[in-house]
Amino acid sequence: MAEFEPKVVAFVCNWCTYAGADLTGTSRIKYSPNVRMIRLPCTGRIDFMLLLQAFGQGADGVIVSGCHPGDCHYTAGNFHARRRWILFRRLIEFMGIDLRRVHFAWVSAAEGAKWAELVTNVVDEVRKLGPYQSFPKRLDGQPKPVEVA
Amino acid sequence: MPRIGVFICHCGENIAGTVDTAAVAKNAADFPGVVHSIDYKYMCSDPGQNLIKEAIKEKKLTGVVVAACSPRMHEPTFRRACAESGLNPFLCEMANLREHCSWVHEKGEATTEKATDLVRIMVEKVKRNRPLYPISVPVTKTALVLGGGIAGIQAALDIANAGHKVVMVEREASIGGHMAQLSETFPTLDCSQCILTPRMVEVAQHPNITLYTYSELESLEGFIGNFKAVIRKKARSIDETTCTGCGACIQKCPTKKIPSEFNAQLGMRTAIYVPFPQAVPNKPVIDRKNCTFFKNGRCKLCERVCPAKALRYDQEDMLVELNVGAVVAATGYQVKDTDFFPEYGYGAHKDILTGLQFERLASASGPTQGVIKRPSDGQIPETVVFVACAGSRDPAKGINYCSKICCMYTAKHAMLYRHKVHSGKAYIFYMDIRAGGKMYEEFVRRAIEEDHVNYVRGRVSRIYKKNGKLIVKGVDTLLNSRPVEIEADMVVLATAMVAQPDAEALAQKMKVSYDENKFLSEAHPKLRPVEMNTAGIFVAGACQAPKDIPEAVAQASGAASKVIGLFSKDELSREPVVAVVSRMGPPDFSTCIGCFLCESACPYQAIEREEIKARDGRLIKTVAKVNQGVCQGCGTCVALCRSKSIDLQGFTNEQVFAELVTL
Amino acid sequence: MEALQKKARALLEAGTVKVVIGYTAGTDVERARAFFARNAEQTQQLIFDARCCQNLATYLMKPEVKALGKAALVCVPGALRTLMQYAVENQLADETVLALAVTDAGEVVELPKFAAVEEYLAKMPRGLTPEQQQELDRIDKLPLEERWAFWAAELARCVKCYACRAACPLCYCSRCITDVNQPQWVPVASDPLGNLEWNVVRAMHLAGRCVDCGSCADACPEGIRIDLLNHVLAREASAHFGAEPGYSTRKDYALSAYKPDDKEEFIR
């Protein structure tokens, strides 16, 4: 039986973490291929519902990463994101959602090595936790986004 | 029906060496909506780009996904290629198969699977892309420069010389700022007014510059390229057009004992006055608070002697409305007064001065004609103690920062004193000597080696008066913290350079950010030192942070170059990745319910209020509206909006959702 | 009660208000329901006793009620706090509603301006009660699986009737996020994911805004403890961001603001 390989979704900001991941690439640092990145202009853009959606779509772990406080390309987007996460984390923890599967980080455009390390650590942790079976999934046949006419 | 073209790049061996690109292209051909899917060696090359262009035309593609390197590398390249074939460039997206896939994973099935997933994610996104067009914002090619000090003067001249109109607003009756008060400047010891006044005259005479002195900013509305400023021209009580500047009124004014602001309270001026002889404009102003006529209704001597009949006692403040495209904030600084120091007598001792006051004593056109005299008894001091870091770098006094210029001007003051009083003894109590600029270190060395200024490393704990002398109690830390006591005739405190008292109010009027010390905040401390977060407003000089004249001038030219760049086109073209509030027909007009929590969150204050009215003028609702000239596209408002009434073009909710659902 | 009826009558007769929104006897002895007295005679049906706990401020957001003209509102403390929050969120202008607070002694206090409401509320205790805190702590202390099991069981009962949304005065969006189908944020069916996401969304949308009127939990036909979700976020928002919704008209939404040193030990 194939060993369980976790699916991890990463929501990243364009200016810092996406660029940092690019640097990981140009530095040829290897990390696990389990991550799928969703590029957004800023962590401030990340709606908390997207994290739940990711789990609902079958993700076993989620990473959210952006610029360090004070370095946001849009000056304050990550500050707003941080507040949102402080509250969101508390709520989902209270409800019994596994916080070990949700990781927040600041990865700057210069931290290529940190990105690789982060992904590898998160994937390893989530692999040990196993698939996130208890989280409800979008039912098969639930409307997928409509084909655009 | 979407018709998406997928182009997988090998990037030589960079991608193809690890990812089975042929397989990815084959899989992509089966994605819903994809009508064309190929792989090729180098998509960014000319032949590669031609493949895209031809496919757009032949297959009538409605969207393109180039799966190659990072979009940060080649998104502009491929978007341009699409635009050249008639496809809106924003209908082109890139999937990052190189930096995020082939370069970081081992060759194998998992890597090819990831590559396929990445392509699928971008196909789902691009199917929901809308054509976007650059946003054009008209630009008024007039700049508003706030502040007539050296920074404001430099910025105004640079912009005016580039052919654009400038309006300069200065609060005092004359431009020149603090630099006009200085005697000689470091490190060259050239006469401050000699280098400044020609510039001041140039400003006054420049055909492109309109100068409003004795005026302040009343309000600032609008956005980049389209500001509306209201200036309050305070009543001078003089008709500037008829006044010839002969000065007869000043000579005859009976109220002569008003402490002169220009002379830092060391000299006197009259009620009708010009701040200093080289003032620009050389037109007087009546200080109505101290003028006998305005206080008691009697006098009017000035009117009687004025040959030009220029007196206008009933003149009122005037409000002037201006349309400007950019603002340069160059409002300068002030220095802390001696009463800030309980340990030095709360400002009660006349012979304890600030650095600025010493400048006036040393100045040839100052209250003592350049002779260093004690304010208390007019005697020439034999021993002068200079205290550096008076208030700066002192968390206990609430000023954590270094005021930057004091080490240099303290050395300068000591040198000037020694030049004028050959037998005098000068002591400087210092913590460090910060002389980082060009020729600065050499200057300080001169003070020590040629002018024999005594540098004592230690702080001054107390100064008090005894028998007509000022007892300065300090310590010499380089001699084992031995206590040092000096009987001084005069003490000069290098007091901290702080923001203007109304800096906060002005920043709020302009809606720009400022820090805890009320210095204006630059957009990025290293890479954007002359811009501010509010688009179209630039900053120069000491109002941003303590700095010396060369730096203020450099920053002013930098700010000017940004303004000139802004004015180089008639319209400002902006990337359309901006937020948009939903609008629809009646009865809702918008799903926005007008809670405006987005308004307070926007880092750029790009969200405005829009009143939706019925035909009879009745207000139906007030909703949010994004100013597309200011919005930078961060999307914070989008994540914040509960009813999802605001969305970000280029990263819409639909698009992001679709990307997620492909998993 | 009499004082209230008298006051209502006086207000309507003088034309100061066009409608008095209060409570009247409900369908059975244990219930009260909302009542809109439009003339002096109808004021006789107004009651005020322990049954009157529904937050009537919700009605101020309805276009049909707005069309009636200036209203007087019989306010329980939760409703007063709601008025404050409406002011913060630009939903209500000052002096457009006459708040009538009823003291324990049955006296009616007229509060015509937001400033008066603010002053009245300043005397009241604020924050979660010890009982409310204990309930939160009890669940917090459960191990992860048990916490999840508790909430899975609670939320399984949700039938997506949205009574909580209807009762909540701060759920006034003309188009709720659940009504958006492109993209579909919250699956509409009463399935595990949909129920979870609906309740998470509502709790988060009220974070820093909820004035703890209790109407949501009261309204839920299944008796689900959704108020616990609001309480845990209220506690967090208060502790970390000093959020005190409902006690002032200051524009102070926790999620619209930030401090450079907001705590972040969970961020790598």
Of B3-7, B403-407, B505-509, C20-24, least confident by mean pLDDT is: B505-509
Fold of B4-127: Rossmann fold (3.40.50)
Q: Which residue of A has its CA nearest to C225?
A: A95
A76 domain residue, yes or no = yes
According to DSSP, residue B42 is labeled: -
Instruction: Using alpha carbons only, give the angle A24, A28, A32 rounded to the nearest 5 degrees.
Output: 70
**Boundaries of domain holding A68:** 24-34+46-95+114-128
Mutate to test the interface with C, among A45, A62, A90 (most CBs of C within 10 A): A90
**What are the residues whose beta carbons fall under 8 Å from the beta carbon of C184, sequence distance 6 or more?**
A143, A145, B657
Give the closest-approach CA distance of C176 to chain B in angstroms.
Answer: 5
**What are the residues whose beta carbons fall under 8 Å from the beta carbon of B497, sequence distance 6 or more?**
B333, B334, B335, B392, B403, B404, B405, B406, B542, B546
3-state secondary structure of B615: coil
- Which amino acid, one-letter code, is at B10? H
pLDDT, mean of residues C228-254:
92
**Residues of A numbered 39-78 whose beta carbons fall under 8 angstroms of chain B's beta carbons: which are they?**
39-42, 44-48, 50, 53-54, 57-59, 72-77
Cβ pair B104:A31 closer than 8 A: yes
Q: Which tokens hold the place of B431?
A: 């913590």
Give the closest-approach CA distance of B127 to chain A in angstroms.
Answer: 7
A144 domain residue, yes or no = no
Cβ pair A96:C151 closer than 8 A: yes
CA dist B455 and B516 (Å) reads: 33
Q: What is the pLDDT of residues C39-83, one digit of tens each?
A: 999 999 999 988 898 999 999 999 899 999 899 999 999 999 999
Q: Do domains B4-127 and B334-498 have the same CATH topology?
A: no
Q: List the CATH code of the domain at B334-498.
A: 3.50.50.60
Q: Which residue of B has its CA nearest to A70?
A: B524
Residues of chain C in contact with residue B640, where contact means CB-CB under 8 angstroms, are 255-256
Q: What is the pLDDT of residues B255-312, one digit of tens each?
A: 999 999 999 999 999 999 999 999 999 999 999 999 999 999 989 999 999 999 999 9
Residues of chain B in contact with residue C174, where contact means CB-CB under 8 angstroms, are 588, 591, 593, 643
**Torsion angle in degrees (nearest 10) through CA of C241, C246, C252, C258:** 20
A149 domain residue, yes or no = no
CATH architecture of the domain B579-662 equals 2-Layer Sandwich (3.30)
Q: What is the pLDDT of residues B483-514, one digit of tens each?
A: 999 999 999 999 999 999 999 999 988 988 88
Per-residue pLDDT for C120 more than 90?
yes
CA dist B148 and B111 (Å) reads: 63
> Which chains lie within 8 Å of chain B at 3 or more CB pairs, if any?
A, C
What is the predicted ipTM?
0.91
Q: Which residue of B has its CA nearest to C204?
A: B642
**What are the residues whose beta carbons fall under 8 Å from the beta carbon of B633, sequence distance 6 or more?**
A41, A74, B575, B577, B578, B579, B648, B649, B650, B651
Q: What is the DSSP string of B488-516?
A: ESEEEEEEPEEE-TTHHHHHHHHT--B-T
Cβ pair C207:A95 closer than 8 A: no
Mutate to test the interface with A, among B98, B99, B607 (most CBs of A within 10 A): B99
pLDDT, mean of residues B130-147:
94
Q: Which residue of A has its CA nearest to C189?
A: A142
According to DSSP, residue B190 is labeled: E
Q: Which residue of A has its CA nearest to C195?
A: A136
Q: What is the pTM of this model?
A: 0.76
Specify the pLDDT at position B482: 95
Residues of chain A in contact with residue C208, where contact means CB-CB under 8 angstroms, are 87
pLDDT, mean of residues B381-392:
96
Per-residue pLDDT for B436 more than 90?
yes
Mutate to test the interface with C, among B130, B602, B644 (most CBs of C within 10 A): B644
Q: Which residue of B has its CA nearest to C181?
A: B654
Specify the pLDDT at position A146: 53
A124 domain residue, yes or no = yes
CA dist B22 and B39 (Å) reads: 6
pLDDT per residue, tens digit, chain A (149 aa), is 468 899 999 999 998 899 999 999 999 999 999 999 999 999 999 999 999 999 999 999 999 999 988 778 788 899 999 999 999 999 999 999 999 999 999 998 888 999 999 999 999 999 999 999 899 988 765 545 555 54
A108 domain residue, yes or no = no
- Flag whether residue B103 sits within 8 Å of chain A, measured between CB atoms: yes
CA dist B208 and A91 (Å) reads: 61
* A–B interface: beta-carbon pairs under 8 A: 139
Cβ pair B639:A75 closer than 8 A: no
Torsion sign over Cα B286, B289, B294, B300: negative
pLDDT, mean of residues B625-636:
92
Query: What does each C-alpha distance from A132 to A57, A102, A121, C201 come to in angstroms?
Result: 11, 12, 17, 21
Q: Residue A105: which of C151, C185, C268 has the nearest Cβ? A: C268
Give the closest-approach CA distance of A134 to chain C in angstroms.
Answer: 9
Please report which helix (H) or strand (E) contains residue B661, including its range: helix B653-661
- Flag whether residue A87 sits within 8 Å of chain C, measured between CB atoms: yes
Residue B319 neighbours by CB distance under 10 Å: 11
Domain ranges of chain C: 2-122, 130-267
- Flag whether residue A38 sits within 8 Å of chain C, measured between CB atoms: no
pLDDT, mean of residues C110-115:
94
Q: What is the pLDDT of residues B83-92, one digit of tens each?
A: 999 999 999 9
Please give the backbone phi and psi of residue B79, each rounded to the nearest 5 degrees, phi first.
-65, -35
Torsion sign over Cα B627, B628, B631, B636: positive
Mean pLDDT of chain B: 94
Cβ pair A96:C255 closer than 8 A: no
Give the closest-approach CA distance of B70 to chain A in angstroms.
Answer: 7
Please report which helix (H) or strand (E) contains residue B194, including its range: helix B192-205
Q: Which of B352, B360, B591, B355 is nearest to B488 (CA)?
A: B352
Mutate to test the interface with B, among A11, A24, A31, A36 (most CBs of B within 10 A): A36
Query: What total number of domains does chain A contain?
Result: 1
Cβ pair B601:C176 closer than 8 A: no
Q: Which residue of B has its CA nearest to C174?
A: B591
Residues of chain B in contact with residue C256, where contact means CB-CB under 8 angstroms, are 597-601, 640
Q: What is the pLDDT of residues B401-428, one digit of tens each?
A: 999 999 999 999 999 999 999 999 999 9
Domain ranges of chain B: 4-127, 135-234+317-332+500-573, 236-314, 334-498, 579-662
Q: Residue A45: which of B127, B533, B636 has the nearest Cβ? A: B636
Q: Residue C233: which of A82, A90, A118 has the nearest Cβ? A: A90
CA dist B464 and B344 (Å) reads: 7
Higher pLDDT: C53 or B204? It is B204
A13 domain residue, yes or no = no
Q: What is the pLDDT of residues B140-175, one digit of tens each?
A: 999 999 999 999 999 999 999 999 999 999 999 999
A65 domain residue, yes or no = yes
Fold of B135-234+317-332+500-573: FAD/NAD(P)-binding domain (3.50.50)
> Which chains lie within 8 Å of chain A at 3 or more CB pairs, if any?
B, C
pLDDT, mean of residues B535-556:
96
Per-residue pLDDT for B645 more than 90?
yes
Specify the pLDDT at position B534: 83
Give the closest-approach CA distance of C34 to chain A in angstroms.
Answer: 33
